[in-house]
């Protein structure tokens, strides 16, 4: 469980996040949705400490992240996995070396144990015989899967995904969404997904937070979205004429 309270963040004098408070549930896929530039990515990066917040509190299972030293934050981050928008795989390392990297860094596993763990993670994301390939030799969808495998290799308690579907075709996007959802339930992780893809929301949105102009505008489940009377949320979700007509019929 991750709890954030009254988070505020400015870049120079421009407020990007204003008084955002949310509890992200354990064992669920928590989706943060909103228009481009609404502050979703800043919110996720603030939660994991890549951006320093101006005020507010962040708790990881009641552990105060803001009050932690750099060393303590580094240790807590070993409980986190992150899937970046562009996958962020290390160009100079093979698929196996990429996934193995956190194990090399932080465990005392033997080479055999590490290889078994890498193969397990690759199998879990439905990839085989790619161990010796470099990221540049993989398709976008395969890169995302390798990035997921790397993110889960240390059994993280917290999984963060920044636009996991960007650049993917709708079918592959749903495969990735379901993979993230399955892994979340299987390992009882607290998963936070930052997206503006409504297909993802409908597919896996167990808890949905809508951010509008840096503020939390709405919170609920994927089913609640369809009947919500939040004007900003409806503008975002039912942006197309077809969707607007569907909403009118509901």
Partner 1 sequence: MKIIEQIGKYLILMSRVFSKPEKNKIYYKQVLKEIESLGINSIGIVIIISIFMGAVITLQTRYNLENPLIPLYLIGLTARDSMLLEFSSTIVGLILAGKVGSNIASEIGHMRITEQIDALEIMGVNSASFLILPKIIAAVLFNPILTLISMFVGVFGGWAASVITGALTSTDYIYGIQYWFVPFYITYSLIKTVVFAIIITTVPAFFGYYVKGGALEVGHSSTKGVVTSSILILLFNVILTQLLLA
Where on the chain is the footprint of partner 1 (CB under 8 A)? 45, 48-50, 74-78, 80-82, 84-86, 88-91, 101-102, 104-106, 160
Q: Are 146 and 87 in contact (CB under 8 A)?
A: yes
Identify which of residues 50 and 239 has a Cβ nearer to partner 1 in the complex. Answer: 50
Identify which of residues 102 and 220 has a Cβ nearer to partner 1 in the complex. Answer: 102
Pairwise CA distance, residues 234 & 250, whole Å: 13
Shortest distance (Å) from residue 106 CB to partner 1: 7
Identify which of residues 79 and 219 has a Cβ nearer to partner 1 in the complex. Answer: 79
Identify which of residues 92 and 227 has a Cβ nearer to partner 1 in the complex. Answer: 92
Q: Are 209 and 21 in contact (CB under 8 A)?
A: no
Mode of pairing for the β-strands spanning 55-60 and 207-212: unpaired
DSSP 184-246: HHHHT-EEEEEE--HHHHHHH-SEEEEEETTEEEEEE-HHHHHH---HHHHHHHT-SHHHHHH
Shortest distance (Å) from residue 95 CB to partner 1: 15
Pairwise CA distance, residues 135 & 91, whole Å: 6
Shortest distance (Å) from residue 80 CB to partner 1: 6
Shortest distance (Å) from residue 78 CB to partner 1: 4
Pairwise CA distance, residues 184 & 202, whole Å: 17
Shortest distance (Å) from residue 242 CB to partner 1: 34
Q: Are 79 and 51 in contact (CB under 8 A)?
A: no
The b-or-e profile of 49-71 (16+ CB within 10 A means b, else e) is bebebeebebbbeeeebbebeee
Identify which of residues 86 and 170 has a Cβ nearer to partner 1 in the complex. Answer: 86
Pairwise CA distance, residues 61 & 190, whole Å: 10
Identify which of residues 76 and 149 has a Cβ nearer to partner 1 in the complex. Answer: 76
Shortest distance (Å) from residue 111 CB to partner 1: 12
């Amino acid at each position: 469980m991750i709890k954030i309270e009254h988070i505020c963040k400015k870049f120079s004098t421009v407020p990007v996040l204003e008084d955002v408070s949310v509890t992200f549930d354990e064992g669920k896929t928590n989706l943060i949705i909103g228009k481009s530039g609404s502050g979703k990515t800043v919110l996720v990066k603030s939660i994991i400490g890549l951006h320093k917040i101006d005020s507010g509190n962040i708790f990881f299972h009641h552990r105060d992240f803001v009050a932690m030293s750099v060393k303590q934050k580094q240790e807590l981050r070993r409980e986190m996995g992150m899937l970046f928008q562009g996958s962020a795989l290390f160009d100079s390392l093979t698929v196996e070396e990429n996934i193995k990297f956190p194990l090399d860094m932080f465990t005392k596993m033997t080479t055999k144990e590490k290889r078994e763990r890498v193969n397990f993670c690759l199998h879990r994301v439905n990839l085989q015989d790619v161990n010796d390939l470099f990221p540049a030799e993989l398709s976008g969808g395969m890169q995302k899967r390798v990035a997921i495998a790397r993110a889960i290799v240390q059994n993280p308690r917290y999984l963060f995904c920044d636009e996991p579907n960007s650049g993917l075709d709708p079918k592959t996007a749903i495969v990735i969404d379901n993979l993230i959802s399955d892994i979340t339930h299987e390992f009882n992780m607290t998963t936070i997904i930052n997206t503006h893809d409504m297909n993802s929301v409908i597919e896996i949105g167990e808890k949905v937070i809508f951010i509008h102009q840096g503020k939390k505008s709405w919170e609920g489940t994927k089913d609640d979205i369809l009947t919500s009377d939040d004007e900003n949320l409806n503008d975002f979700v039912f942006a197309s004429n077809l969707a607007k007509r569907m909403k009118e019929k509901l």
